[in-house]
Chain A
Amino acid sequence: MKNKIAKPALATAALGALLLATGCATSVNTYQRAQSQATVNYIDDQRLVTDTTLARALAVRSLNEARPGGLLQVQATIENLKTSAKTLHYKFEWIAQNGMVAGDTGWRTLFLQGRETSAISALATSPSAVDFRLSFKE
């Protein structure tokens, strides 16, 4: 009698565990070439973190730049460190040689699945832009 009750209970528990492990997961598996063929101009960055919760959920893996047509283009490779999907907002500000802000992208939305790595990029339309500032918020 004891075994008859235990078997359905075990089966239910196993099914629940399986659903938790697979059905509810939104995590992303990522594959890429082992030896990158791209020539990337990486940027050394300086970080100011005021939201530690966000910093624990989001990693900026790299920053790189290009100069199409002489204009500054910046790309950030972002990774969601959590296994659940996340919506974030980001903004690029462009800074001229004299240190003045020379425009911005406005806030943009970024959707990341769990453990997904994605790239965001922006192009400065002002030829005077030499630097940038990238901000994130939840």
Chain B
Amino acid sequence: MFISGCSTPAHYVDSKGTGTIVSLNKINIQDFYQAADDMVADILTSGVLDRAPSQPAIMAISSFKNATTNNFEMSLLTKKVSTALLRTGKVVTLSDDALAASQNEKDIFMGKTAATRSEPYYTLSGKIIEDKANAGSLKQTSYIFQLTLTTVKDRLGVWEGEKTITKQGKQSSVGW
């Protein structure tokens, strides 16, 4: 009775809300949302996507490096960025769908479609770094999200963005 009375029953929380867990040793779901949102806003306000010769510009997701001690699926970041950019209508993403690729090759072989391939105008690459510090029992962890938008034709970085999320405390907590 005493044990169950004090426990928190499982319940749903808003994934982007203030009731989510804040961890000092991992990137939380709200961190991915915030980093993606801020960098998407930065890309869009820079106007770089509006300078592509054809609209919408084709963008491919390139390599992303996880330089943190966390193990996570990188699409937690890349999918949020590509989804938001796609929604603006300013870019289309080069899909890595295997079925679409094989069907396209079959259609080309059968002469149903011209042998033209969509080539990306932009590639998006990135890296996530972590920085840890502590003062006594007080811990601080920063996660630095870095993105680079490159034009394929000349391999020039036309936009770069960095977003740092810093968390501090003695232990992880529920809510922020």
A residues apposed to B, CB below 8 Å: 68-69, 71, 73, 89, 104-109, 122-123, 125-127, 137
Q: Contact partner of B89 among A105, A127, A137, CB < 8 A?
A: A127
Q: In the complex where A71-B88, A106-B30 touch, is A123 in contact with B44 (Cβ < 8 A)?
A: yes
Q: Measured between C-beta atoms, what is the minimum distance from A90 to chain B in Å?
A: 11
Assess whether A125 is in contact with B47, with CB atoms less than 8 Å apart: no
The answer, among A89, A109, A123, for a CB contact under 8 Å with B45, is A123
CB neighbours of A137 from chain B (8 A): 18
Which residues of B sit under 8 angstroms from A105, Cβ to Cβ? 16, 37
Q: Is the CB of A109 within 8 A of B176?
A: yes
In the complex, chain B residues whose CB is within 8 Å of the CB of A127: 88-89
In the assembled complex, the Cα of A24 lies from the Cα of B45 at a distance in Å of 39
Find the B residue at minimum CB distance from A69: B50
Query: Contact between B87 and A125 (Cβ–Cβ < 8 Å)?
Result: yes
Checking B34, B47, B50 against A106 with a beta-carbon cut-off of 8 angstroms, the contacting residue is: B34
Q: Is the CB of B37 within 8 A of A106?
A: yes
Whether A125 lies near B34 (C-beta < 8 A) is no
CB distance from B167 to the nearest CB of A (A): 11
Check if B40 is an interface residue, CB within 8 A of chain A. Answer: yes
Give chain B nearest CB distance to A52 CB in angstroms: 21
B44 touches A68 (CB 8 A): yes
Chain B neighbourhood of A126, CB < 8 A: 87-88
Q: B33, B41, B85, B89 — which one has the most chain A CB atoms within 10 A of its CB? A: B41
Chain B residues in the interface with A (C-beta under 8 A): 14-18, 30, 33-34, 37, 40-41, 44-45, 47, 49-50, 84-85, 87-90, 176
- What residues of chain A lie closer than 8 Å to B15, measured between beta carbons? 106
| A contact residues around B84 at 8 Å (CB) | 125
* Shortest Cβ distance from residue A14 to the other chain B in the assembled complex, whole angstroms: 32
A-B contact pairs, 29 of them (CB 8 A): A68-B44, A69-B45, A69-B47, A69-B49, A69-B88, A69-B90, A71-B44, A71-B88, A73-B41, A73-B45, A104-B16, A105-B37, A106-B15, A106-B16, A106-B17, A106-B37, A107-B16, A108-B34, A109-B176, A123-B40, A123-B41, A123-B44, A123-B45, A125-B40, A125-B41, A125-B44, A126-B88, A127-B89, A137-B18
CA distance A68 to B47 in the complex (A): 7
Which chain A residue has the least Cβ–Cβ distance from B86?
Answer: A125
Closest B residue to A87 using CB positions: B176
CA distance A98 to B37 in the complex (A): 24
Residues of A within 8 A of B40 (CB): 123, 125
Question: Besides A106-B30, A106-B34, A123-B41, 15 other CB < 8 A contacts?
Answer: A68-B44, A69-B44, A69-B45, A71-B88, A89-B18, A104-B16, A106-B37, A107-B16, A108-B34, A109-B176, A122-B37, A123-B44, A125-B87, A126-B87, A127-B88
CA distance A104 to B33 in the complex (A): 11
Q: Tell me the minimal C-beta distance from A120 to chain B in angstroms.
A: 12
